Structure 1
Amino acid sequence: MEEEISYATLYFKNGGAAPNEEKQDSTIYSEVKPKGAATSVPISVVINWQKANLSDLTAEKQQLITERSILERETAELRRVRDNLNWTLEVILTFDTFPVNDFCPNKKCQPCQTDWHLFQEKCYLFYNADSPWKTWQESRTDCKTRAADLVVIDSLHEQEFISNHTKYYYDTYHGYWLGLYNIQHQNWVWLDGRNDTLGYWLTEQFGDTGQCALLIPGKTPPHSWDAAGCTMQNRFICERDALIRSN
Structure 2
Amino acid sequence: MCFLSLTVGVIMTKQKANLSELMEGMRVLENKTAKLSRDRHDLNYTLGVILNFSSFPVTEYCPDKKCQPCRSDWILFQEKCYLFYEEDPWKTWEESRKYCRSKTADLVVINGLQEQEFISNHTNSYYDDSHGYWIGLYEKNGTWVWVDGRNDTLRFWIDRQLGTSGIYALMIPGSDPTHSWDPADDMFLNKFICESEVLIRSK
The TM-score normalised by the length of structure 2 is: 0.91
What residue ranges of structure 1 are gaps of 5+ in the alignment? 1-40
2:71 aligned partner: 113
Residues of 2 paired with 1:110 and 1:218: CA distance? Answer: 31
The alignment status of 1:85 with 2:43, answered yes or no, reads: yes
RCO comparison, higher one (Cα < 8 Å, 6+):
2
Spell out the pairing of 1:26-175 with structure 2 (5 A cutoff).
41-42=1-2, 46=5, 51-130=9-88, 132-175=89-132
Q: CA deviation at 1:66?
A: 1.5
Structure 1 vs Structure 2 CA RMSD: 1.9
Count of aligned pairs between the two proteins: 203
2:167 aligned partner: 211
Give identity over the alignment, percent: 54
Q: CA deviation at 1:45?
A: 6.1
Counterpart pick for 1:223 among 164, 179, 182: 179
Residues of 1 paired with 2:7 and 2:158: CA distance? Answer: 81
Residues of 2 paired with 1:201 and 1:62: CA distance? Answer: 63
User: In the TM superposition, what whole-angstrom CA distance separates every residue of 1:10-62 from its partner, at most 9, and x where no partner exists?
Assistant: xxxxxxxxxxxxxxxxxxxxxxxxxxxxxxx25x963x555544433333332
The alignment status of 1:232 with 2:188, answered yes or no, reads: yes
Residues of 1 paired with 2:162 and 2:27: CA distance? Answer: 60
2:141 aligned partner: 184
What residue ranges of structure 2 are gaps of 5+ in the alignment? none
Residues of 1 paired with 2:144 and 2:10: CA distance? Answer: 74
Residues of 2 paired with 1:156 and 1:61: CA distance? Answer: 53
The alignment status of 1:245 with 2:197, answered yes or no, reads: no
Distance 1:224 1:51, change over 3 A: farther
Residues of 2 paired with 1:67 and 1:164: CA distance? Answer: 50
Structure 1 or 2: more helix by fraction: 2
Larger Rg: 1
Kept in 1, the 8 Å contact 2:161–2:183? The answer is: no
Letter in 1 for 2:35: E
